[in-house]
Amino acid sequence: MRTTTTLAAAALATGAAAQNYLGFNTGSTLADRSAKFKADFLAEFNTAQNLVGAPGTFNAVRLYTNIQAYSTDDPIEAFEAAIETNTSILLGVWASGTDNIDNEISALQKAVTKYGKDFTDLVIGVSVGSEDLYRNSVTGVANGAGIGTQPDVLLGFINDFKKAVVGTALASIPVGHVDTWDVWPNATNKAVLDAVDWVGVDEYPYYESGKNNTIENAPALFDRAYDTTVSVVGGKPVWVTETGWPTTGPNWDLGVPSVANAKYYWDNVGCRKLFGKTPTFWYNLRDSNPDNTMKFAITNQLSTKPYFDLTCPTTFDYNPSSTASSSASSTGTTTPSSSSSTATTLVSTASTASPSGSGSRTSSAVTASSTALFVSLL
C-alpha cells in the first residue's frame, strides 16, 4: 500500500511539473505583522491573475503554513480565497522551531472537512518545511538565518505528514521540501531527498556574495544553481519555489536593487529559463517581511500594472554560451513610485524564522556573505 501511494505521488509530482504552474509566494502576515485575512488573500490572487503583460496566468500560490496567523490550528484563510479565485495551492508546513507538526496537520484536516473537494482539488502538492536545512547549516548559522531543523527531525515530519493523510483526499499529493540549492548535494541531507517526491529550490543570485553577483552575471549564477540541483536529485521533479531580484534596498556585494535590474532578471531568468518550463513561484507579488530592507514586490499596493513590463522578449541579453551582457545596468537607480507593499518576504533567515514568508538571507538587513544562498535551490 505504501508503495502504491508513493508511486501515485511520484506520478502526480511529474504531472504537476508538466503543468508548469505560475504563481507567487505568500506569507500569513502583513508588513506590520498583523494577520492576513481572506480579503487580503483575495486581493493578492485577483491581482496575480490579472497582471498586465504577464507571460501566462499566475493562478497558483505557494504558502508557508496551513495555520491562520495567531491561531493555534485554524485553517489559513488563504484556502477560502483560493477556492473563490480557482487558485492552485502548493501547501506549506512550517517545520522549524517546533518538535512536531501536529497543529499544521490539524489545520489541514479541518480545511478538508470544511471545504471538501472544492479545496482538495486545488492542492497541487505540499512542502514540508522551507529552508530549514539551510538555516541549520554552518552558513545559515553564520548568516543569522534563524532557527532551522536537523535532517533527521525534518525526515520525521515528512513521514508524519504522509501518515496523517493516508486514507484522505490528500493521500496522493506529492510531498516535497524546499531549501537552498547547496543543501541537496550534501550527503548529510540524503535521507530527506530520498523521502520526497519533488524538490523545491530557492535561488537568489542577488545574495551570491563573492561570486560576481552583478545583474549581468545573475542568469549564469541561477543556471549553475538550478542545473546542479537537477543533476543530484535522481530524476525527481525540481520546482523553483522562490526567485527574484529586489527593486529597492541596499547593495549586496555587487548585487544592486533597481527596477531596471528586476526587469532584466525577470526576462533573462524567468522568461528564458522558467516560465512554461517548470513550476515557478516568483518572489514576489508584494512584500511582508518587515525585517527585510530589500523589497522584491513587482507591483505597488497590488496594482495590476507592475513596476516593469512583464512581457517576455523574443531574444535575451544573456547568452549561456558566452559571457553575459546586459541591457540593464548593475548600477541602475530606477526606483518604484512607492514601495508600500505589504506581504511576503522569504525569510529563509529571519528573526525567529516564522511562516510569514521568505526573501532574506539574514536576520538583519545586510550581514555576512550568503554563499549558501542558492546556489541554492530552495
Active site residues: 131, 242
Residues 6+ apart with CB under 8 A from 273: 219, 222, 223, 226
Decide if 164 contacts 105 (C-beta within 8 A).
yes
**To the nearest 5 percent, what fractions of the chain are helix, strand and coil?**
35, 15, 50
Query: Hey, which residues does 255 pair with through a beta bridge?
Result: 252
Residues 140, 244, 269, 17: is their CA dihedral positive or negative? positive
Do residues 343 and 26 touch, judged by C-beta distance below 8 A? yes
Whether the Cβ atoms of residue 161 and residue 114 lie closer than 8 Å to each other: no
Q: From CA 116, how far away is CA 118, in angstroms rounded?
A: 5
Q: What is the Cα–Cα distance from 91 to 103, expressed in whole angstroms?
A: 14
Please tell me whether the peptide bond between 284 and the residue prior to it is cis, using omega within 30 degrees of 0.
Answer: yes
Contact 99, 149 (CB under 8 A): no
Dist CA 10 CA 20 (whole Å): 16
Sort 6 into a burial class: Cβ within 10 Å, 0-12 / 13-18 / 19+.
Answer: middle
Angle 170-56-215 from CA coordinates, rounded to 5°:
105
Under a CB-based contact definition with an 8 Å cutoff, are residues 133 and 151 in contact?
Answer: yes
Helices then strands (H, E): number in the chain?
A: 11, 10
Instruction: Determine the Cα–Cα distance for residues 80 and 111; give it in Å rounded to an integer.
Output: 9
What is the rounded CA–CA span in Å between residue 257 and residue 48? 22
Give dist(CA 18, CA 238) in Å, integer.
11
